[in-house]
A = this chain, B = another copy of it.
Amino acid sequence: MKKTPHAPADLPRNRILQGDCIAQMNALPAGSVDLVFADPPYNLQLRGDLHRPDNSRVDAVDDDWDRFDSFKAYDTFTHAWLTAARRVLKPNGAIWVIGSYHNIFRVGAALQDAGFWVLNDVIWRKSNPMPNFRGKRLTNAHETLIWASRGEGAKYTFNYEALKALNDDVQMRSDWVIPLCTGHERLKDEKGDKAHPTQKPEALLHRVIVGTTNAGDVVLDPFFGTGTTGAVARKLGRDFIGIERDAGYIKAAQARLDKVRPYDASAIEVTRAKRAEPRVPFGQLVERGLLRPGETLVSPRNKAAKVRADGTLIADNVKGSIHQVGAALEGAPSCNGWTYWSFRREGKTVPIDVLRQQIRAELS
């Protein structure tokens, strides 16, 4: 394990400090940590209760620590902790911050104002997000991470080859598909409820720490929660410093950390992306102009249907998906629209599945 040069000997490595993160960071020596990973409060502004269509209630984040009086109050808080974080960072250190549309724009602007230099924004695409139950907006299926160096022109650690290896030897992109933290990985309290409302998946931290730190580096998390950052750092042979206000979270985090063995390979396996044949909605053929709204599709027995702008078909009295309309015209319980419908090009009849293959080829 490489020892990081210039790290003060009195740094509280692998300890959780209880208290306000700004005060605690200011008590650490300046220029002493290699990476800050921060998952600050998102400042969600929820109005009433929300129920699923089955009438069960959504267990929302309504904790006191997520409440701010105004954007201005949130900005003041953000500027303060970012300034403190920048002070404890080594000159060649870097920061990661995660957030949602509620707070990430304010965090990003504050980062830039504080002198950090944005290197990438990274999208955590959730493979299994909570849907939008009322159909009033898009499914909120991602969160945003910002990766920034300490300032313009500053050096930073980037393990290009390691990330490429994690990604089947293809250059790592700025969008990462990772599932939510559920199942056995999710910490539970004595009652069996989730120990923390927003525990992050270890796979996410794995990628951050492998990609932007070296073994022996010190990773500081000022909003430590139940300690995902610390657990992954230890597994990967890095040291951590955690700061957390809530004694209950600290207790859960410490119990978790006591069980961690470095160089556990299990997290690496989690990170590997599943390779499945990408689903191509018929609507994409319309959006991409491969089929024109208003264009006519024909069936094997020469029944016709017209393509609409939303990727549905209309024929005689039937409207719906390529599968539904096909089934209705055939009087069948189901129908594979991809093989059923064809379009006309230059006098020839071409199955629409050809267009799907074309898109799949682009995607791979």
Contacts and interface: CB of A to CB of B under 8 A. Distances in A.
Interface size of A as a range: 35 or more
Contacts of A171: 131-132, 135, 138-139
Nearest to A53: B336
How many copies, total?
2
Given A55-B333, A71-B113, A112-B105, A362 B131 contact: no
Contact of A128 (B185, B287, B362): B362
Interface string A202-245: 11001100100000000000000000000000011000000000
In this complex, the member of A109, A119, A330 whose beta carbon has the largest number of chain B beta carbons within 10 angstroms is A109
A137 interface: yes
Contacts of A55: 330, 332-335
Interface in A120-177: 120-123, 125, 127-129, 131-132, 135-142, 144, 146-147, 152, 158-163, 165-175, 177
Interface string A87-111: 0000000000000111011111101
A269 interface: yes
A58 interface: no
A199 interface: no
Contact of A309 (B104, B270, B306, B332): B270
Interface of A: 49, 51, 55, 67-68, 71, 100-102, 104-109, 111-113, 115, 118-123, 125, 127-129, 131-132, 135-142, 144, 146-147, 152, 158-163, 165-175, 177-179, 185, 201-203, 206-207, 210, 235-236, 263-264, 266-271, 273, 279, 281-284, 286-289, 292-294, 306-312, 314, 319, 321, 330, 332-335, 362-363
